[in-house]
């Protein structure tokens, strides 16, 4: 059983994951992308097990994130299936090339496509066990203020309201958890680094770094980093 309230998470004093839409969709993206590999999926499984089975961590998902997942999930699933189908076709073509040069080759990768629903299940398991933090009128107002002030993740010339709602939602969650006595780490995870990091070397933007520091929030930009910051072992 996963935690059913912020009070329960605070009482258990376990690390807390606050994921954005991008980091969750990374669990379903095509493995032909450089940031999607075995380590990423092992990390995803570890996070799933920590949220769903062992209760080693708590997880809260902003309502806005759930809405964005509903809007984007089918497209990402189709993109992943298409990318793997194209790879399968390419390998078949290269097999024919090899055969024409005297070496019979029948590379089998059809099983890759059977892994897509397994990957999606890791994400849906996390979502099914996570709490939801509702978008209130006050959070929407705070998000509009953040955007008007061009504070991270707002960008000049872009409607960043949704991104700002996610950030304000998670700042609110962290505030509530700290007020309830949680002293464990809180991890905000987003692979959407173009909105959150800048400079050389790349570092979290100073304005949101200050917001996070005030509440003891750590920032993670990848699944394997998230697993590490949550203190979870990696499955074998």
Higher pLDDT, 1 or 16: 16
Q: How far apart are CA 52 and CA 126, in angstroms?
A: 7
What are the tens digits of pLDDT across the range 93-115?
999 999 999 999 999 998 999 99
Confidence check: pLDDT of 173 > 90:
yes
Share of the chain above pLDDT 70, in %: 99
- Please state the φ and ψ torsions of residue 160, each to the nearest 5 degrees: -105, 20
Q: How far apart are CA 24 and CA 220, in angstroms?
A: 13
Average of per-residue pLDDT across 69-90: 97
Encoded tokens for 2: 């996963």
pLDDT for position 1: 64
Average pLDDT of the chain is 96
Q: Domains plus CATH for the chain?
A: 6-82+117-229 (3.40.50.1010)
Average of per-residue pLDDT across 127-141: 98
Classified as helix, coil or strand, 25 is helix
Confidence check: pLDDT of 4 > 70:
yes
Question: Which residues, in sequence order, are CB contacts of 211 under 8 Å at separation 6+?
Answer: 167, 171, 217
Q: Which residue has the tokens 């769903």?
A: 52
pLDDT for position 112: 93
């Amino acid at each position: 059983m996963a935690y059913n309230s912020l009070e329960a998470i605070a009482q258990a004093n376990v690390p807390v994951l606050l994921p954005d839409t991008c980091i969750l969709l990374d669990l379903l993206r095509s493995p032909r992308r450089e940031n999607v590999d075995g380590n990423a999926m092992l990390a995803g499984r570890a996070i799933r097990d920590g949220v769903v089975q062992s209760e080693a961590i708590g997880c809260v998902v902003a309502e806005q994130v759930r809405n964005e997942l509903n809007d984007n999930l089918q497209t990402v699933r189709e993109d992943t299936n298409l990318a793997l189908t194209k790879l399968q076709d390419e390998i078949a073509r290269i097999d024919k090339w090899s055969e024409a040069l005297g070496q019979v080759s029948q590379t089998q990768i059809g099983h890759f496509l059977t892994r897509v629903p397994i990957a999606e299940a890791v994400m849906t398991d996390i979502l099914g066990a996570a709490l939801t933090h509702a978008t209130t009128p006050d959070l929407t107002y705070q998000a509009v203020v953040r955007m008007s002030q061009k504070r991270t993740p707002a960008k000049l010339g872009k409607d960043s309201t949704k991104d700002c709602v996610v950030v304000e939602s998670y700042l609110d969650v962290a505030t509530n958890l700290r007020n309830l006595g949680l002293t464990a780490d809180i991890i905000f995870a987003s692979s959407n680094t173009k909105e959150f990091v800048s400079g050389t070397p790349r570092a979290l933007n100073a304005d949101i770094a200050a917001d996070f520091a005030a509440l003891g929030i750590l920032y993670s930009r990848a699944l394997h980093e998230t697993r590490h910051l949550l203190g979870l072992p990696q499955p074998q």
